[in-house]
Amino acid sequence: MSKARGRYFSSVILALGIAGAAASAFGAAVVQESQGDVRAGATPSQSKPVTPNQRVLPGAVVTTAPGSRVVLRFDDGQIVALHENTQFRIEDFRYRLQEPEADRAVFVLLRGALRVVTGTLGKRSPDAFSLVAPQATIGIRGTDFMVVLVNPAYLSVLKGTVTATNAAGTVTFRERTLGSLANSTTLAVPIPESALPRAAASSFANLGALRLTAGSSSGETRLPGAAASKAKGTSTSGRETAGTARDLKGEAARQRAQDRIPSKP
């Protein structure tokens, strides 16, 4: 390999490293409270039990066993509560108080039920938020909502507005409404409470009873000593490279999240 080519590849590797370091400082969640057997890891097979105040980074899969639940608080103040028998992946989460253009929140509900109370990111950059389920992708407009997967999926909007988008189109659900999402090719439809199956009604009742309030954001991600120092040192020089990486990753993260979950018939 020539010296010129060697320098070129070294520059590419360095640029990718800087982008990765800068991106890693962009946000995560902390375990606010948990009950029962709750695990997190890169894959379900690699998951380990969570502990109070543990950081949960993008890419992690969080799983709750029967009779278990967990409440995650993200750096922007957003709250995600997972019901029992739930599997949830943080596909991408990026937040800094002074960098709204970098906002990104892409989550995947693989099974079970959850409740989301949006924080600063959801309020200032609602288009940067999406929750991917087999039947549709959920978007928000300053919201407190719940989703349960019992095939079909069901949606409950407690506050704000939620959109459900799939191959059939987009449907908007407003505060105090319920919706049914049959599959990825059928338009979501509003339903009365009486149409909820028992399993969905029970999940909504339990999640809805939780006292959840989105907190204020700290604006900065706290990392362990050496990692924090490295991230700080690279954040300025890597901003352009990281910005380009974020632009390329935005819609790709949503599509990747959709592609990685099995579609419902």
SS3 49: strand
Closest CA to 48 of 71, 26, 31: 31
Mean pLDDT of 217-225: 45
The CATH number of the structural domain formed by 3-259 is: 2.60.120.1440
So what's the pLDDT on residue 95? 93
pLDDT in tens, 27-78: 789 999 999 999 999 998 899 999 999 999 999 999 999 999 999 999 999 9
Partner residues linked to 173 by β-bridges: 162
So what's the pLDDT on residue 97? 85
Distance CA 140, CA 164 (A): 9
SS3 5: helix
Partner residues linked to 105 by β-bridges: 93, 129
Distance CA 133, CA 264 (A): 10
So what's the pLDDT on residue 151? 86
**Banded model confidence at residue 26, pLDDT cuts 50, 70, 90:** low
Mean pLDDT of 118-126: 93
pLDDT in tens, 55-67: 999 999 999 999 9
């957003």: which residue's tokens?
A: 78
Q: How many CA atoms lie within 13 A of 213 on its CB side?
A: 3
Partner residues linked to 186 by β-bridges: none
pLDDT in tens, 231-245: 333 333 334 433 444
CB 78, CB 119: distance < 8 Å: yes
Proportion of the chain above pLDDT 90, given as a percent = 65
pTM: 0.75
